[in-house]
């Protein structure tokens, strides 16, 4: 009660009306979600295409090297760059990439290298009622919400009490007063500042992260200024750093934070993890991050050679070369020169055309310039060398039509599923004849169709589309990537919806999923526990059926 009165007085002293506060918070809609682990469109920031500015490096970064000198330096500096990481990791400070993580020795696939709690993490706006704010676990039971702000939800009294003590007692009065949705980025930055105020030493790990400030365009800085105003409406004045410090934190947050993903690899929230964020990006990464609740787990998904750089992917690498480059430059201020970007300048299956031969899965290079005056486009299939001759205008027209149908269907998926589905079927009819199976537009169309089919409980379609997606993912993503592994698990689930009783095929689907998931998820993760349980149940069912067949006395 007393707290409420104090807050009110403070709020009154501020000249902004409630309306203004709410507007600022609504306007300062979430800053783009970095590290691309979620596949929403929040990376589509409005910032212009900007050249990369030199990356400012912190003093601590400059101290680290990968040789014996690095070890000496690390010993003398206050804290290692990677706290509690696997000893097989080593740090180099590269001219063009800044702090970079390397393998000191060969590391096989499927190894956990870092397990880490976030410095700050919050649930996304759309997931607040589905996931516990404190532990990030999804619950089958309805979550209980904070009775005051009615905004945050918890799975247990314990979670609510611990969250209240740490953070919520400070935010709750403002949330109650504002009375509407507060973007996740604002909430996350607020929480980091609360933690900083209560434990200033802990904030050193955040202060050492890359800022990227000098590369941030003015237009984006204006958005950040709105964010600062929004945070100021929530945080008590004594906890609020200077505008400059808050701007730095926001810049760090944009470049270093990442989406926290759930069981199904879909976005749950956003968080800042000061160790795993040190990994640089590659469009063909050898590591991936999965989450258990809000614990980030970094694992190798491929064999890593000694002295090889360890990388994760910041964006969805289903996108073609140009889009990937654009997004990385816009949000992370660098030009990607990874293995895949090098190759795909020649042929990129994500934007390729299909081979004319029906039985060939080969790709035909997408024309460089559709506006060229040449009437016909001629190119060879990468696999069977069959010549494709097609009018340039035809390629352009079909691609545009597929794109439009995709947009149309996406705008009506929640209101008119049958029509959305019809549009997608048309998109396939038009696109299939010319676009490669891994073309990003066809993949997106399949993803949409799968979601619709699942919503409509049309398991037959859902199963066959998921299988097609899985096939495409095997080429688009590195093997053992979580997204491919999860898709394989989804195939098993779809099949079991279609044919719930034991069958060799169903068992094989689960075993295949388990094999893939075991690489990117830890043994005791909830995903693996659930797949193993499903396999056990299937096997028990099969033994039971066998015993019955052989006339055993089963009760």
Residues that bind ligand SAM (CB under 6 A): 55, 61, 96-100, 209-210, 212, 255-256, 277-278, 280-281, 332-334, 336, 338
**Tokens at 50, concatenated:** 């900007």
**In the complex, what is the shortest distance from the CB of residue 52 to ligand SAM, in angstroms, rounded to a whole number?**
8
Nearest residue (CB) to ligand SAM, 233 versus 325: 325
Rounded Cα gap, residues 232 and 174, in angstroms: 10
**In the complex, what is the shortest distance from the CB of residue 147 to ligand SAM, in angstroms, rounded to a whole number?**
38
Nearest residue (CB) to ligand SAM, 340 versus 465: 340
Query: Where in 335-454 does DSSP place strands (E)?
Result: 353-354, 363-364, 376-380, 387-391
Nearest residue (CB) to ligand SAM, 195 versus 281: 281
Exposed e or buried b for every residue in 346-371, given b needs 16+ CB within 10 A? Answer: ebbbbbbbbbbeeeebbbbbbbeeee
**Which residue's beta carbon is nearest to the bound ligand SAM?**
98
Identify whether the C-beta of residue 473 lies closer than 8 Å to the C-beta of residue 479: no
* Torsion over CA: 313, 317, 319, 322 (sign): positive
**In the complex, what is the shortest distance from the CB of residue 101 to ligand SAM, in angstroms, rounded to a whole number?**
8
CB atoms within 10 A of CB 250: 25
Nearest residue (CB) to ligand SAM, 34 versus 267: 34
Rounded Cα gap, residues 201 and 547, in angstroms: 64
Rounded Cα gap, residues 55 and 67, in angstroms: 23
> DSSP for 322-369?
HHHHHHHHHHH------HHHHHHTT--GGGPEEPSSTT---EEPPPS-
**In the 8-state DSSP scheme, what is residue 203?**
G
Nearest residue (CB) to ligand SAM, 93 versus 160: 93
Nearest residue (CB) to ligand SAM, 275 versus 409: 275
Nearest residue (CB) to ligand SAM, 251 versus 486: 251
**In the complex, what is the shortest distance from the CB of residue 443 to ligand SAM, in angstroms, rounded to a whole number?**
24
Nearest residue (CB) to ligand SAM, 45 versus 503: 45
Give me the half-sphere count of Cα atoms (radius 13 Å) on the Cβ side of residue 188: 30
| The residue to which tokens 């069977």 are assigned | 384
With residue 94 as reference, give the H or E element that holds it: strand 89-94
């Amino acid at each position: 009660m007393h707290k409420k009165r104090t807050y009110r007085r403070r709020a009154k002293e501020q000249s902004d009306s409630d309306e203004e506060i709410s507007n600022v918070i609504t306007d300062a809609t979430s800053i783009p979600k970095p590290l691309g682990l979620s596949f929403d469109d929040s990376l589509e920031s409005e910032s212009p295409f900007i050249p990369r500015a030199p990356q400012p490096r912190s003093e601590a970064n400059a101290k680290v090297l990968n040789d014996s000198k690095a070890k000496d330096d690390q010993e003398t500096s206050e804290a290692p760059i990677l706290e509690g990481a696997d000893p097989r990791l080593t740090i180099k400070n590269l001219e063009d990439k800044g702090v970079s993580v390397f393998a000191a020795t060969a590391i096989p696939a499927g190894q956990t290298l870092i397990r880490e709690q976030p410095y700050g993490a919050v649930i996304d706006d759309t997931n607040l009622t589905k996931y516990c704010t404190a532990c990030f676990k999804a619950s089958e039971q309805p979550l209980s919400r904070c009775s005051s702000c009615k905004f945050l939800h918890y799975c247990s009294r314990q979670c609510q009490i611990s969250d209240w003590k740490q953070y919520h007692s400070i935010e709750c009065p403002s949330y109650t007063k504002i009375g509407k949705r507060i973007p996740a980025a604002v909430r996350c930055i607020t929480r980091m500042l609360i933690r900083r105020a209560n434990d200033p030493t802990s904030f050193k790990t955040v202060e050492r992260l890359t800022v990227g400030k000098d590369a941030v365009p003015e237009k984006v800085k204006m958005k950040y200024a709105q964010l600062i105003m929004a945070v100021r409406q929530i945080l008590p004045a004594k906890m609020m750093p200077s505008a400059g410090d808050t701007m730095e934190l926001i810049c760090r947050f944009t470049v270093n934070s990442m989406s926290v993903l759930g069981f199904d690899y879909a976005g749950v929230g956003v968080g800042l993890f000061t160790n795993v964020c040190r990994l640089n990006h590659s469009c063909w990464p050898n590591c991936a991050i999965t989450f258990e609740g809000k614990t980030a787990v970094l694992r190798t998904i491929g064999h890593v050679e000694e002295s090889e750089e360890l990388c994760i992917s910041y964006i969805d690498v289903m996108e073609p070369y140009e889009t990937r480059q654009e997004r990385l430059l816009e949000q992370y201020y660098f030009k990607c020169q990874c293995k895949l970007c090098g190759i795909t300048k020649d042929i990129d299956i994500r934007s390729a055309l299909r081979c004319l031969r029906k039985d060939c899965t080969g790709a035909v290079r997408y024309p460089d310039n559709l506006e060229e005056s040449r009437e016909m486009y001629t190119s060879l299939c990468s696999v069977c060398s069959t010549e494709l001759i097609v009018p340039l205008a035809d390629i352009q027209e079909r691609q545009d039509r597929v794109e439009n149908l995709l947009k149309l269907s996406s705008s009506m998926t929640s209101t008119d599923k049958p029509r959305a589905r019809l549009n997608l079927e048309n998109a396939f009819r038009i696109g299939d004849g010319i676009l490669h199976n891994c073309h990003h537009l066809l993949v997106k169309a399949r993803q949409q169709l799968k979601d619709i089919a699942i919503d409509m409980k049309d398991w037959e379609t859902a199963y066959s589309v998921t299988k097609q997606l899985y096939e495409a993912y095997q080429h688009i993503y590195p093997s053992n990537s979580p997204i491919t592994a999860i898709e394989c698990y989804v195939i098993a689930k779809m099949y079991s919806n279609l044919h719930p009783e034991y069958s060799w095929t169903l068992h094989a689907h689960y075993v295949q999923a388990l094999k893939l998931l075991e690489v990117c998820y830890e043994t005791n993760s909830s995903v693996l526990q659930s797949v193993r349980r499903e396999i056990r149940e299937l096997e028990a069912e099969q033994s039971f059926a066998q015993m019955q067949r052989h006339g055993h006395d089963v009760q």
